[in-house]
C-alpha cells in the first residue's frame, strides 16, 4: 500500500499499484461520509489551498469538503486571469503560494502543464485539479472508483467515452486509467473533436484503445457509457455543423443505449447539456450514476489528500 509521491499530477505517471492504493483508500473514506458525524481528525493542523484559475464549483467544493472532513484547514483562492495577463510569472505565483506554507495545493488551470511546472518550484504537494485539455486525475479516479464499486472490477470492461475528446482532460485521464487497469476504451465523437493520433497515447498497442467512427460502434456491447460535455463556447470554431446535428448524431438516447450491454451504466462528469449530448430520460434513468460520481468524488479526494500529506511518520 505504498504511495510515495510528493504530488498527484496525472494518471499517466501512476502505476497500477498506486491507482489501486488510491481506490482502496477511498473505499475506507467513503464509509466516513456515510456516518452521522462526517469528520475525522486525520489532517488536523494541515493546510490545503484550493487554487482555481477556472471556475469550477463542483471540483472545488468537492476538495473543500474532503479537506474539512479530514479536519484540514482549507483555503480557496481564485484568479480569473493567467499569470501572463497579470504580469506575473509562474515563479512569482509559486513564491507567493510557498509563502503561505501550505501542505497541499489543489490547482486548476486552463493551461496544460501548470501543475507540473509549479510542482518543480513548490515544496507542498501539488494536486492537479484539471489542467487545460491535459489531465484531470481526480475525476478519472472517482470515475474508476464508481465503476469498480458498481461492476466489482475494471479489467475486461468495455467503456465508451463519447463527445469532445479534443478539449477533454477527463477523456485523457480516463483513457490512461482504464486501459492501465485492463479495460477496453472506445472513443467516439465528431472527427474534428478527436485529436490526432489518439489511438497511440496509451502504451499498450493492442485493442485497449479504439477510436470509432460512429457512436453506435463505441456503444455496442459497452459496459460503461461515459458522455462528455459539449462546450458550446467552442461552436464558433466549426468543429461540427450545429448543436442540433450533434445531438442527432452523437447524443445518448434511450434507443442508442439499447445497443450497450444489458446492465450498462451511464456516466457524465458534468455539468450536462441535457438534450445535447445526453437526453433527460437517460440522465435521470436508472442506469445513470451521475450523482453517485459526485458523491464518490469526496471520498476519492479524501484518499488523495491522506496519501499525499497525511501518511508520513505513521
Partner 1 sequence: MNKLLIKGGRVIDPSQHIDKVTDLLIEDGRVKAIGNDLAADDAEVFDAGGLVVAPGFIDLHVHLREPGQEYKETIATGAAAAVAGGFTAICAMPNTRPVNDNASLTRYMVSKAQEAGLARVYPIGAITRGSEGTELAEMADLKAAGAIAVSDDGRPVMNSQVMRHAMEYARDHGLVVVDHCQDTQLSAGGVMNEGRISTLLGLKGISRAAEESHIARDIMLCELTGARVHIAHLSTAGAIELVRRAKARGLPVTCEITPHHFALTDAAVVGFDTNTKMNPPLRTEEDRMALIEAARDGLVDAIATDHAPHHEDEKMLEYDQAPFGVIGLETALGVALTVLHHTNGVALPRVVEMLTAGPARAFDLAGGTLAVGAAADVTIFDPEREWTVEPQQFKSKSHNTPFGGWRLRGQVVTTFVAGSEVFRVQ
Q: Contact positions toward partner 1, by CB under 8 A?
A: 12, 82-84, 89-91, 109, 111-114, 116-117, 131-135, 169, 172, 195-198, 200-201
Nearer to partner 1, 112 or 182 (CB): 112
Identify the three-state secondary structure at position 211: strand
How far is the C-alpha of 25 from the C-alpha of 215, rounded, in Å?
35
Nearer to partner 1, 135 or 277 (CB): 135
Active-site choice (60, 108, 134, 166): 108
- To partner 1, the closest distance from the beta carbon of 242 in angstroms equals 22
- To partner 1, the closest distance from the beta carbon of 91 in angstroms equals 5
Active-site choice (25, 59, 138, 175): 59
> Nearest CA to 22 among 134, 180, 130?
180
How far is the C-alpha of 160 from the C-alpha of 222, rounded, in Å?
6
Nearer to partner 1, 89 or 280 (CB): 89
Determine the length of the chain: 314
- To partner 1, the closest distance from the beta carbon of 28 in angstroms equals 32
Q: Is 136 a catalytic residue?
A: yes
Name residues whose C-beta falls within 8 Å of residue 254's C-beta, 6 or more positions apart in sequence: 279, 281, 282, 285
- To partner 1, the closest distance from the beta carbon of 89 in angstroms equals 4
Active-site choice (39, 86, 95, 232): 86
- To partner 1, the closest distance from the beta carbon of 51 in angstroms equals 14
Assess contact for 48 and 73: CB atoms under 8 A. yes
Q: Is 6 a catalytic residue?
A: no
Q: Is 166 a catalytic residue?
A: no
The secondary structure of residue 50, as a DSSP letter, is E
Nearer to partner 1, 136 or 268 (CB): 136
DSSP character string of 107-149? EEESSTTHHHHHHTT-SSEEEEEEETTTB-HHHHHHHHHHHHH
Q: Is 58 a catalytic residue?
A: yes
Active-site choice (46, 60, 136, 166): 136
How far is the C-alpha of 175 from the C-alpha of 291, rounded, in Å?
21
Q: Is 25 a catalytic residue?
A: no
Catalytic residues: 58-59, 86, 108, 136
Amino acid at each position: 500500500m505504498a504511495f510515495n509521491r510528493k504530488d498527484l499530477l496525472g494518471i499517466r505517471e501512476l502505476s497500477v499499484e498506486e491507482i489501486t492504493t488510491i481506490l482502496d483508500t477511498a473505499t475506507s473514506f467513503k464509509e466516513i461520509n456515510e456516518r452521522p458525524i462526517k469528520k475525522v481528525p486525520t489532517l488536523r493542523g494541515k493546510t490545503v489551498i484550493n487554487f482555481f484559475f477556472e471556475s469550477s464549483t463542483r471540483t472545488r467544493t468537492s476538495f473543500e469538503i474532503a479537506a474539512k472532513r479530514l479536519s484540514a484547514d482549507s483555503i480557496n483562492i481564485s484568479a480569473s486571469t493567467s499569470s501572463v495577463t497579470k504580469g506575473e510569472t509562474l515563479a512569482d505565483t509559486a513564491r507567493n503560494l510557498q509563502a503561505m506554507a501550505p501542505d497541499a495545493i489543489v490547482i486548476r488551470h486552463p493551461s496544460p502543464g501548470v501543475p507540473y511546472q509549479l510542482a518543480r518550484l513548490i515544496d507542498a504537494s501539488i494536486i492537479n485539479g484539471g489542467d487545460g485539455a491535459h489531465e484531470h486525475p481526480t475525476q478519472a479516479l472517482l470515475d474508476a472508483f464508481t465503476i469498480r464499486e458498481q461492476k466489482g472490477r475494471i479489467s475486461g470492461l468495455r467503456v465508451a467515452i463519447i463527445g469532445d475528446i479534443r478539449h477533454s482532460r477527463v477523456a485523457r485521464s480516463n483513457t490512461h486509467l482504464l486501459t492501465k487497469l485492463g479495460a477496453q476504451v472506445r472513443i467516439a465523437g465528431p472527427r474534428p473533436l478527436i485529436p490526432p493520433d489518439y489511438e497511440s497515447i496509451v502504451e499498450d498497442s493492442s485493442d485497449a484503445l479504439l477510436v470509432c467512427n460512429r457512436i453506435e460502434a463505441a456503444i455496442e456491447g459497452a459496459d460503461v457509457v461515459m458522455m462528455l460535455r459539449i462546450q458550446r463556447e467552442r461552436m464558433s470554431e466549426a468543429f461540427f455543423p450545429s448543436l442540433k446535428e450533434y445531438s442527432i448524431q452523437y447524443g445518448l438516447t434511450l434507443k442508442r443505449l439499447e445497443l450497450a450491454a444489458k446492465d450498462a451504466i451511464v456516466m457524465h462528469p458534468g455539468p450536462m447539456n441535457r438534450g445535447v449530448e445526453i437526453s433527460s430520460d437517460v440522465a435521470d434513468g436508472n442506469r445513470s450514476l451521475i450523482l453517485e460520481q459526485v458523491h464518490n468524488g469526496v471520498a476519492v479526494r479524501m484518499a488523495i489528500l491522506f496519501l499525499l500529506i497525511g501518511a508520513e511518520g505513521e
